[in-house]
Structure 1
Amino acid sequence: MADRTVLFEHADHVARITLNRPERLNSFTRAMHAELRDALADLGDARVVVLTGAGRGFCAGQDLNDRAVTADSGPTDLGETVEQCWNPLVRALAELPQPVIARVNGVAAGAGASLALACDLVVAGTSARFIQSFAALGLVPDTGGSWHLARHLGQARAMGLALTGEPLNAARAAEWGLIWKCVDDEALDAEVDALAAKLAALPPLGLAATKAMIRTSWSRTLDAELDLQRDEMRRLGFTDDYREGVAAFLAKRPATFTGR
């Protein structure tokens, strides 16, 4: 396991995926992308996913050494890397039925910052920094960055972060609504573990439907959203989990959900 660039643990319906290149701030190579794709494709009975980074940082984005670009080298097709690696990753995270929690420790830069924002919930330690480092290289915020920044923050703040590359600390990111929560570094593990356990104990069908609806609501009118809410409430109201939830509430006992 020590030589793997992505580590995978699975217990109590929680899948924990750790980016494992701490000596390179968990920056991505093609091999690392392949390992992460494999992990996300085989989550077993996990009801929630935690994505984090080993060592002192979450992820520094693309490992520039993996491309062997120099001042004298010829043109490099960065679009190929985005199309083959980063775009499929963002789509996979969005399409997973399970909620994905990003546990952000230390720096999240470039595509690493965008990767964190592509998750459903971001919990960061106070030492975390989100850096849109693309402008310094003459690039644009990829890995969904321009999309998520504008929708979370609005145009003014998204533009400022993207154009200047100014680091955004975790406390300010939470204040601005870019992430779910900022906690003391010492409390980060306990906070993420508690959140993952809470989500893993909830009805998975309802969580999956909620995630899908919120992520796609931008494309619907209010009327269409109301119709979809009706349809999903009808579907979920027929499930065993809904009946178990009501029965447990009335009996004042913990509920046991089966995902059916």
Structure 2
Amino acid sequence: MSDSDKQKEVIVGSGPVLLSIDDLGIGFLTLNTPETANCLNNETLIAMAEALMICHGTKRLRALVLDGAGKNFCAGGDIKTFLAKGEELPFYIRQATNYLQNVITLLIRLQVPVITAVQGFAAGGGGFGFVCASDVVIASESAKFLAGATRVGMSPDAGMSATLQNLVGFKKAMHILLTNPVIEAKEALDIGVITKVVKDEKLTQCVYEYASEIAKGPPLAFGQTKRLLWNAIGAGVEQVLDDESRTVSMLSGTGDSIEAMSAILEKRKATFNGE
């Protein structure tokens, strides 16, 4: 991601998630399934958790950049995979949300700041959830944000029950989660979801410059500052994760959820019957 590319040590060089670290101690964790808009399934979530565990054990890490390959940061859950599970979907979703819980916890408890770069869509528990669980978020002007859970007949996950309302307030969070507006980058900045908006062509450069400044700072002070801020809301985040997982799993097997996911793939309006 910049002139430092040649100095990067590749730690995970293939698969759904890539991981490298440069000579400044900046880690780069990249969602690497651009053909699906970096949608999340169990394979990707497991790979992401494994990469984050490596980050937790890397003493020279000073900052972590989280990004997505291709046109979109992360478009949420992999609906095609979900629908293919048939009657096994609730079990699969329970697994997925458990893996997602682990990823979110690893992000917020990482000893260094997590700087997320967003282009295209950040949607669902993956895209939007990762944004809410990041320490700093820099987005391109054309980036868009979407909660999306209730749109597919499910409820929030990735800790958003706690993180989103801490960012924007209870009433605004409720509105976002109930009505699923597509939030443009400028509004996301105005309401406190993200840190900074930059021109599309400057995203990579600006993210690296920000990470470089963090990498040159006092790592112990930064780590303790991050710990203190997350502890102020972190207990709330971690308490809701398991409840979210159970609830999303239960809702995924309902007729409304199956209808909503099918409607998205078929590009039509869903009809909800409350069953």
Structure with greater helix share of residues = 2
Pair 69,40 (structure 1): closer, same or farther in 2 beyond 3 Å = same
Corresponding residue of 1:19: 31
3-state SS, counterpart of residue 107 of structure 2: helix
1:153-193 Cα deviation digits (max 9, x unpaired)? 11221111111111111111111111111111111111101
**TM-score, length-normalised on structure 1?**
0.79
Identity %: 31
* Unaligned stretches of 5+ residues in structure 1: 221-260
Corresponding residue of 2:40: 28
2: CA distance, partners of 1:53 / 1:116: 12
Contact 1:123 1:181 in 2 (8 A): yes
Structure ranking higher on relative contact order (CA contacts 8 Å, 6+ apart): 2
Asked which structure has the greater CA Rg, the reply is: 1
**TM-score, length-normalised on structure 2?**
0.75
Corresponding residue of 1:113: 128
1:95 aligns with 2:71: no
1:197 aligns with 2:203: no
1:209 aligns with 2:220: no
Pair 104,87 (structure 1): closer, same or farther in 2 beyond 3 Å = same
2: CA distance, partners of 1:218 / 1:76: 29
Corresponding residue of 2:19: 8
3-state SS, counterpart of residue 67 of structure 1: helix
* Cα deviation, residue 59, structure 1: 0.4
1: CA distance, partners of 2:234 / 2:118: 29
Q: Number of aligned pairs?
A: 218
* Unaligned stretches of 5+ residues in structure 2: 1-11, 236-275
* Cα RMSD (Å): 1.9
Give the AA of the match of 2:231.
T
Give the AA of the match of 1:89.
V
Give the AA of the match of 1:76.
P
3-state SS, counterpart of residue 172 of structure 1: helix
Give the AA of the match of 1:169.
E
3-state SS, counterpart of residue 7 of structure 1: strand
1:118-175 Cα deviation digits (max 9, x unpaired)? 1111110011111011112111111111211111111221111111111111111111
